Amino acid sequence: MDRINYIINELKCIADNPKKAMDDYKKATGKGAVGIMPLYCPEEIVHAAGYLPMGIWGGHRKISKSRAYLPPFACSIMQTVMEMQLDSVYDDLAAVIFSVPCDTLKCLSQKWKGTSPVIVFTHPQNRVIEASNAFLVEEFKILKARLEEILDTKISDESITESIRIYNENRQVMREFTQVAAKYPHIINAVTRHSVIKARFFMEKSSHTALVKELLAEIRQLDPKPWTGKKVILTGIMAEPNEMLDILNEFDMAVVADDLAQESRQFRVDVPDDDDPLYRLAKWWQDFYGCALATDVKKYRGEMLINMVKEQQADGVIVCMMKFCDPEEFDYPIYYDQFQQEGIRSISIEIDQESQAFEQIKTRLQSFSELL
């Protein structure tokens, strides 16, 4: 149990202090870090350059300076990202990579207030045709060339292929982790689960994989205990800040699976096999599913969530609705209807990174838990 606690603590420290993780990486490797804006950037290309891809997911802080640049109806995560740009938090990054799968990200990609150079690429949204892969390969070629220029290095196909291998291994281990976490909620509570997953945004992936593998091996030696609390599934962009997850722990709600953009959506699908590594990365986007930011006229997300509930025998779904995230807000009425038809209970809570008061969420989650 000591080793388990040690690894969890190690990952929690990294998740809670990305700056230190980045500085340690720089010290150890002599190389720097590249910022990765949400969502779905081919981090493997950065990894292949030997740089640390650092996830940029905002933070729990008060908004003041960014008010001058964003109206109040920009989403909560971009408000805090903007605030942190203005506080020079990201200026140690060698570059920042933006994808633009929503209107807010298109705008934000054009107004970076930090000092790092910005690289933008666009995901194709007509994902059913082969031509979309060809388009994305060209976008990735430009992204790679710009990175090579900024980082003054060459990124070979072989190194990208190796990075894809490392990332796919991490994805697989993370999928295992979520399964194990569902079986051992006594050990992996909601906050711990989030920290283990979040740490992967600030670590070289093979180191993260090694730690999580060891953690899984240690946990599997223990007998799972029966869980008397409730089992829930989270869906949305992210489930932060930790104060919100603390409430789940308080009311004995175990997260048995998630459909969060910051969590399982990152490792739900592996990068497929093929010869050309950039084509493989492009094809990943075509194979990807169940996210509000990836156009799907069949709207499979609701069915996917229903299947997750059944497989995990979950008691309900908590919709972590990012404040002012319209892609997520458009998905909600569709899957909510499907939940109703299936008799699946759900609750929508607002994710506001700026929030300092959690009493309302606490009351709502408490009644939800009692209802389940």
Binding site for other proteins (CB under 8 A): 68-71, 73-74, 100-104, 106-111, 120-126, 128-129, 131-132, 134-135, 138-139, 142, 292, 295-299, 321, 323-324, 326-327, 329-334, 336-337
Nearer to other proteins among residue 19 and residue 111 (C-beta):
111
Q: State the Cα–Cα distance between residues 217 and 310, nearest whole angstrom.
A: 27
Question: Residue 192 CB, nearest distance to other proteins (Å)?
Answer: 31
Check: CB of residue 45 under 8 Å from CB of residue 160. yes
Question: Residue 366 CB, nearest distance to other proteins (Å)?
Answer: 23
3-state DSSP call for residue 163?
helix
Terminal alpha carbon distance of the chain: 32
Token digits of residue 8: 């969890």
Question: Residue 108 CB, nearest distance to other proteins (Å)?
Answer: 7
Question: Residue 68 CB, nearest distance to other proteins (Å)?
Answer: 7
Token digits of residue 308: 């997750």
Nearer to other proteins among residue 127 and residue 280 (C-beta):
127
Question: Residue 146 CB, nearest distance to other proteins (Å)?
Answer: 10
DSSP3 helix / strand / coil % (the chain, rounded to 5): 55, 10, 35
Instruction: Give me the sign of the Cα torsion angle 188, 191, 193, 199.
Output: negative
Nearer to other proteins among residue 70 and residue 173 (C-beta):
70
Q: Which of 61, 202, 38 is nearest to 108 (CA)?
A: 38
Question: Residue 265 CB, nearest distance to other proteins (Å)?
Answer: 17
| Length of the chain (residues) | 372
Question: Residue 352 CB, nearest distance to other proteins (Å)?
Answer: 12
Nearer to other proteins among residue 69 and residue 358 (C-beta):
69
Nearer to other proteins among residue 135 and residue 289 (C-beta):
135
Question: Residue 323 CB, nearest distance to other proteins (Å)?
Answer: 8
Token digits of residue 347: 């609750």
Q: Which of 19, 118, 119, 107 is nearest to 66 (CA)?
A: 107
Nearer to other proteins among residue 7 and residue 261 (C-beta):
261
Question: Residue 216 CB, nearest distance to other proteins (Å)?
Answer: 37
Q: Which of 73, 75, 118, 68 is nearest to 93 (CA)?
A: 118
Nearer to other proteins among residue 139 and residue 218 (C-beta):
139
Q: State the Cα–Cα distance between residues 328 and 260, nearest whole angstrom.
A: 11
Q: State the Cα–Cα distance between residues 45 and 60, nearest whole angstrom.
A: 29
Q: What angle do CA 223, 229, 234 make, to 5 degrees?
A: 100
Q: Which of 303, 304, 305 is nearest to 316 (CA)?
A: 305
Nearer to other proteins among residue 9 and residue 125 (C-beta):
125
Q: Which of 160, 127, 244, 144 is nearest to 194 (CA)?
A: 244
Nearer to other proteins among residue 132 and residue 242 (C-beta):
132
